[in-house]
Structure 1
Amino acid sequence: MSESTSDTWFKLRLSPSLRKRLEDEAAQHGITLTAEILARLESTLSGADKRIDDLERLTSDEEFGNRALWKHFSDLYDEIERLKSEVEAVKERLGH
């Protein structure tokens, strides 16, 4: 697959184990390593947009009430804490 001239090239350093995991996933999906990485990034960003849309809907729809909002905030908090743990793990691996 040729890349369009509007694509941006980006160098990415991966540990051998992470690269292997991503290559295995790409092979299972029948796609290239690049396509696997891009699909995961797109999925992550799409998920954030959906959570923001859901939050906006919850704040404008009284039917769901405060209980739904607190549940949603709780889920967001859990996701943030999970991401913080992942960042810390990466920092440790990098020696920071």
Structure 2
Amino acid sequence: MSDQVHMYLHHFRPDMSKKTPFMTEVELLLGGIPQLIFTDGTYQFADQDSKPVIVYSPRLPELELEAFCRENIERYKQHYEQNKEAIDNNETPVIVPFW
């Protein structure tokens, strides 16, 4: 993520769940990991507070990330089930990249 200086966090917005329901579900399954929104209009799920940064999705335009989340929702559900206790305790377990 070479342009860290040029991004900002997307705060959780349940009102967007009608437009991006799968991104909303992934955000919840990850325990509230926000979407990073880059100045080029791409989005990515990543935990900026971790060292090194833990990435949970590819970096894509919003509607492409929504489609990615829809296509891979079962992987995120599986990640949550395998790490439920840690996620419920505000930890951010690494996900095996599948993208």
TM-score range, shorter chain: under 0.3
Task: Name which structure has the greater RCO, CA cutoff 8 Å, separation 6+.
Answer: 2
Q: Which structure dedicates a bigger proportion of its chain to strand?
A: 2
Instruction: Please tell me whether Structure 1 or Structure 2 has the larger radius of gyration of its CA atoms.
Output: 1
Q: Which structure dedicates a bigger proportion of its chain to helix?
A: 1
TM-score, length basis structure 2 = 0.25
TM-score, length basis structure 1 = 0.26
